[in-house]
Amino acid sequence: MCRACPLNRAEAYTATATVHLQRYSLQTVNSLTVSQASANMAAPIVVLFGYVMSTFTIKIQHVLKLKQIPYKFITVPTMMPRPILRDNFNLTYRKIPVLAIEGYQSIYPEAQDRRTYRPLIRGFASYWTDRPIFRVMTGLMPASIWRSAFGTDRAQLIGHKLDPDKLEKKLPENLTKYDHQLSMLEPLFAETDGPWIFSTSTPSLADITLYYQFLWGNKVASGEGVYSITMEGAPDSKETGSAPVFHSERYPGIHGWYKRMERYFDELPSTEEDKSNDPESVLEQMKKAPTLGRRSILLPTPRSAHQELSEKIGLKEGASVSVTPSDTGRDDPTIGTLVALSPEEVVIKPKQLEKPAAVDSALLFGLFSLVSGQFPPTPEGVTTLQSKFHPGVRVSYKEPGLCETTPGVKSYAGYIHLPPNALNETHEHNEYPLNIFYWFFESRKDPENAPLAIWLNGGPGGSSLLGALSENGPCFVANDSKTTYLNPWSWNNEANLLFIDQPVQVGYSYDVLTNITYNLVASHEEEATIVPADFTNGVPEQNNTFLVGTMASQNVKHTANSTQHAAVAIWHFAQTFFTEFPHLKPNDERISLFTESYGGHYGPGFMDFFLHQNEKIKKGEISGNGAHYLHLSTLGIINGCIDAPDMMSSGIEMAFNNTYGIRAIPQDQYDWAMNEFYRTGGALDDIKKCREMALKTDPHDHGDVTKTNSFCSQAADRANNISDALYVRAGRAARFDITHEPKDPFPPPFMFGWLNQPETQKAFGVPVNHSWHSLAVATAFESTGDIVKGGQLDQLKYVLEHGVNVALFYGDRDVACNWIGGERYSLNIPWAHQAEFAHAGYTPLVLGFPYTQSGGLVRQYGNLSFTRVYQSGHMVPSYQPEAAYSIFMRALTQRDIATGEIDLKEYAATHEAQYSTTGPSDTWWMKNDVLPQPPHQCYVLDISSRCSEEEIEWIKDGSAIIKDWIVVGRESASSTVDQERLHNLQPDEQIPLLKDW
């Protein structure tokens, strides 16, 4: 997707060359054909790595026996990890078996005139795709297999939960399906003239293709081999199995052929050598094999085809590539350097892991498809650890060296990798992996003793890196989208910061790596902006508005669909993060959460869930070394949309009546909207009915009651249509800043380009392009009506009454989640001190040194505060960095928000009363001037929000002059360009995020 990088840079996650065969991997090590070995030379070493009851190991064993090829067999574990492959070959690929062949030439034979046999090559490749009855056969496996550790491992491989009870109940259905398969095959065998599938004197590969499935299926269905698969439970002799599945009387043709195959292979001489299965001696022989020569690679395809493919894909010898299966096991890629590429295969030299491979090898994969184009570079320098406390969970990290350039200040970025079914809470069904991205910054001052704050942007679906790079993080991105400069008001000046991209599929977080196309100018009537794609036949041509890349799956069922589900995922993230990185916790272990926008849901919901989990830990309901009590200190919400009725109604009011004197909607629309909202049977009544239904049918907000979800989703759409959508349709001002034009250039969007620069992605070690907003997540939340279901005010009550400091602060130019609604939320929280808070008056937010400015007005009682911040839009730290920083630090250290001079705990102890502000009861008396707007700027990577219709047409027709993703003019003379309006860029220009411009 990173359009700036040329194709020859797209070595990226690129050749996610997937195995042609979806069920096993054939890799040749020191690759060479056995059939071409000279008679006076020692036979090449052939080694098969697999396990006894592996279906495809059985298949390859029969192939080798049929062709009378001597081989050695090394048993590998049935489950990951497989140290013998990783340590000796740097092979991390999951699929089994692996075939190793010593030598130098092609595994494909040549004719005497050196011509290659293209039909044979194609047939060889397609041979690995067989599995005509494999799916049905796996359905006959005894349920005891799925109840074992093997079942857990296979759930991780497949990427979704396996329910042993359901699988056991489906056995009769699967037997019926199997019987149907046999009934279709029987006529073919009954009518054949010869003993084998084809008219051959001996069995062919086609016979083996079917035979191994019957052989394996009959064994495992009768209980044979179960113990060798699971390595637990009763020995095979005591397994009952599922049922007999092969009846000679019902299927005499198939049965006769099957028995002939049995006899034929029983009578064939075994070609398995050295059955002592001593891997060390075999590996020693392999180490002594000749070193690979440059011309050792298995490429029978005409060279012109290679060149054509290289030009089409943009991959050349030496490129860094990652090889994964096309179906399952995609979280265990093998990374290496491209040695050769043809339409049938890809050959790589494996990347060195912790140490060099013990055996010099090249890895051959039959090729199914290629992922190439504008893709992230292959991750390098990433440390990945298995969690010490949470089975199946992995932790990866890297010091990116980006953004925070203050000497001595470190940052870490990486993932918490949660496998399918890791969220072992009631009603959690994550039948998909969660790879959750984080970016941690040390405090610039005394990090060992500094407090820790987690930052979450909203959306739902917004990346928290927007906050890191345009609000409160250590740096901002310059207008070249390539360089950064330090933020003097960064929140890590005196605190450790942890930014998290959540829910999964947001930002750099992903479930399953997926090829996508990205249409920047897609309308609602057209296809979605980001669409999963198949690049088997090549990567589509890209232009200024159509890009390609690798992202998450875009599957709306592979992410959280409610605040509750998102909270569960982040709880598990935090449990792993703080147990695996104890040195990153503050000395007093207190953790705070600051969030924005939809964070009005995230903040209360997450804190409430965390507190209840803490109670379970206290009671011993959650225990073990991996159970980490979160000492929660402060919750900060910036322009949060908290409670739907006040959010929707205040949006209508803010558009018409505000302290800036701007009427963004006319009187008649205002009257219509207010009536539609409050009338009997109106939008407010729908929201109330939704909440009644949710309380009755889904009181714990699991989001799995279809009727309730549907009604609440419709209620949310109706309310939005007469509030936020009405404002946008009017087209007079920006949603996040009523004083700006609708195509708002502030805050600058340059981080979108920077996060997709290959240099940035390489530094982070991420395998995906960045998505600043996930439509899949937004759609999932919309489908449940999460925004209107309520409960946030009660959650805030619970949070406050458990001693957590709550700071609400709102920029007064925002419409979407405005200060009018924010004030109402603060007054409506039904906590013990609701009346005292309402009685407290407003006092100035004192800023500057020696405290000479007022940045807003504050109401506070005890551990709850509400602040209206002057001259600020939605993202307060971008507009008013000093005010935001002051509120942040005062809240974090539990001091009064107005001045920061009063310690709340000391005040309560000495005065035997809670601290309370005094002053006017409201802030409407404080009116604001409309300040000059920043210059318009069309940024192509955020085209719908930043570019005019005219500029979009220039971009579409190719006449736009674009520099660093910014439209700076137009080539065509047929249309006059307002050069005064277009931003005249300088190479080193920085756009500061400062108030008042």
Which residues are marked as active site?
597, 814, 874
CA 95 from centroid of its chain's CA atoms: 23
Compute CA distances 994 → 15, 465, 471, 748, 782, whole Å. 44, 19, 10, 11, 34
Q: What 3 state SS string does 689-743 have?
A: HHHHHHHHHCCCCCCCCHHHHHHHHHHHHHHHHCCHHHHHHHCCCCCCCCCCCCC
Q: Which residues lie below 8 Å from residue 974, measured CB to CB, with a gap of 6+?
A: none
Instruction: Supply the DSSP string of 872-924, one letter for each residue.
Output: --SSHHHH-HHHHHHHHHHHHTTB-TTTS--BHHHHHHHHSS--B--S-S-ST
3-state helix, strand, coil in the chain (%, to 5): 35, 15, 50
Q: Strands of 530-532's sheet, edge to edge? A: 530-532, 514-519, 546-551
Per the CB < 8 A criterion, the answer to whether 305 and 342 are in contact is: yes
CB atoms under 10 Å from CB of 668, counted, come to 8
Listed in order, strand segments (DSSP E) in 768-893 are: 805-811, 843-847, 853-861, 864-869
Please, what is the end-to-end C-alpha distance for the chain in angstroms?
A: 33
Tokens read off for 856: 């807003």
Neighbour-count burial of 647, counting CB atoms closer than 10 A to its CB (0-12 exposed, 13-18 middle, 19+ buried): buried
Task: Give CA angle at 724 (722, 729), nearest 5°.
Answer: 80
Closest CA to 518 of 531, 508, 527: 531
Instruction: Supply the DSSP string of 184-236, one letter for each residue.
Output: HHHHHHHH-SSSSSSS-SS--HHHHHHHHHHHHHHHHHTTTTHHHHHS-SS-G
Tokens read off for 5: 């990088």
Rounded Cα–Cα distance for residues 92 and 77 (Å):
13
DSSP state, residue 931? P
Alpha-carbon torsion, ordered 612, 617, 623, 624, to 10 deg: 110
Rounded Cα–Cα distance for residues 410 and 440 (Å):
9
Per the CB < 8 A criterion, the answer to whether 861 and 915 are in contact is: yes
Per the CB < 8 A criterion, the answer to whether 122 and 344 are in contact is: yes
DSSP-assigned beta bridge partners for residue 981: none
Rounded Cα–Cα distance for residues 78 and 49 (Å):
11
Per the CB < 8 A criterion, the answer to whether 798 and 831 are in contact is: no
Q: Amino acid identity, residue 760?
A: T
Closest CA to 23 of 103, 132, 117, 102: 132
Q: Which residues lie below 8 Å from residue 566, measured CB to CB, with a gap of 6+?
A: 460, 502, 503, 560, 602, 605, 606
Rounded Cα–Cα distance for residues 834 and 838 (Å):
6
Tokens read off for 992: 């500061």
Rounded Cα–Cα distance for residues 546 and 542 (Å):
5
The residue assigned the tokens 């062919």 is 204
Neighbour-count burial of 75, counting CB atoms closer than 10 A to its CB (0-12 exposed, 13-18 middle, 19+ buried): middle
Neighbour-count burial of 682, counting CB atoms closer than 10 A to its CB (0-12 exposed, 13-18 middle, 19+ buried): middle
Q: How many CA atoms lie within 13 A of 810 on its CB side?
A: 29
